[in-house]
Chain A
């Protein structure tokens, strides 16, 4: 059997979720709606038995500084330590990589004209870890999947376009399908949804926009990927531009992929979305 992309997930990576999780607050009324939404997602993922998760995320100044800032950076290591992003290190197991798979991905993506920054060392933080802790059971023995972290510049403009991200997803699918063996891969697009964290418009959210985004991601992904950064930021807040990372995930799926889960919760300053797709 050839290797294949078996599923894709779009989900928010809000740091307060990590703090609530680490302090055992996920069953409090404020967090239970989110916690409950992920129970069936973890069960579904456990049944899908993925070998590797490609986690498309952005660093928030834990491991990448503006002295040199890559547009796309990819992990090529056997392990990824938990980074300190300024508030200490989360008590999570070190993340396992799959360097051989990373090398193949990188060779295939660069041949397809995606000129990635290749990272032998990469500390991962909330952008990566919150989706992991929500989606996968883990403990002292580690995580049930290996990962490839794929870091996207969504904070220092100019950013890659939404369509560039979508096409990167398509190239990832092609790379996976040419990997020898029968690796089962999930792609996770993280970040968003609507939020703005600076200026007088701090706290801005737009549920109508977020629901539209979820609809279109399912039904009309190429049109959605063509949306300009400015339109996205004007309608959903400046930091909502993280949503372009969801296009990488969507681009990695076939036209036949079916939506499985969908959830939305907006308690404080960020619309927290969740959508999953499974290949048939």
Chain B
């Protein structure tokens, strides 16, 4: 029997904002699972040693792999990555929260820092 997927009771959207809900979580599961695995130092080393081999362990789609290769953080969020899990792949690739944030805002890192009250508090 065909069943139309219910839209759900989800929250009304907020501009320029992702609300990480069950639909995001389902879509992003492979990406989030990979990032969760980076909580082990030996896995971080394995990722740094051979990113492609590491990604192959998590059944990522080609599109998901491309997001990681491109360090496309806005794209990862759109693909269902949770921000707190994305911090782990940011860390292992040398991208701090603030660098990822500047990219998501579409700004240079230095320009983003200039918008802050006390940019040394990093």
Interface, chain A (partner B; CB < 8 A): 16, 20, 28-31, 60-62, 65-67, 83-88, 155-158, 196-203, 229-230, 233-234, 237-239, 266-269
Contact = CB atoms under 8 A, between A and B. Distances in A.
A201 B39 contact: no
Interface string B99-122: 001101110000010011111111
B17 A201 contact: yes
B39 A61 contact: yes
Given A65-B32, A86-B39, 8 more contacts: A31-B121, A61-B84, A155-B82, A199-B77, A202-B104, A203-B105, A203-B115, A268-B117
B25 A197 contact: no
Interface in B1-58: 9-12, 14-22, 25, 29, 32-33, 35-36, 38-41, 44
Contact of A266 (B15, B29, B117, B122): B117
Interface of B: 9-12, 14-22, 25, 29, 32-33, 35-36, 38-41, 44, 74, 77, 82-88, 91-92, 97-98, 101-102, 104-106, 112, 115-122
A239 B83 contact: yes
Main secondary structure, interface of A, reads loop
Contacts of A203: 101, 105, 112, 115-116
Given A156-B25, A199-B17, A268 B105 contact: no
Which among B20, B74, B106, B112 has the highest number of chain A CB atoms within 10 Å?
Answer: B20
B82 A156 contact: yes
Contacts of B117: 266-268
Given A155-B84, A156-B22, A197-B101, A88 B41 contact: yes
Given A65-B33, A65-B36, A229-B11, A28 B120 contact: yes
Contacts of A267: 116-121
Given A31-B121, A60-B87, A83-B39, A157 B16 contact: no
A156 B118 contact: no
B88 to A, nearest CB: 3
A13 B88 CA distance: 17
B29 A201 contact: no
A133 to B, nearest CB: 16
B19 A268 contact: no
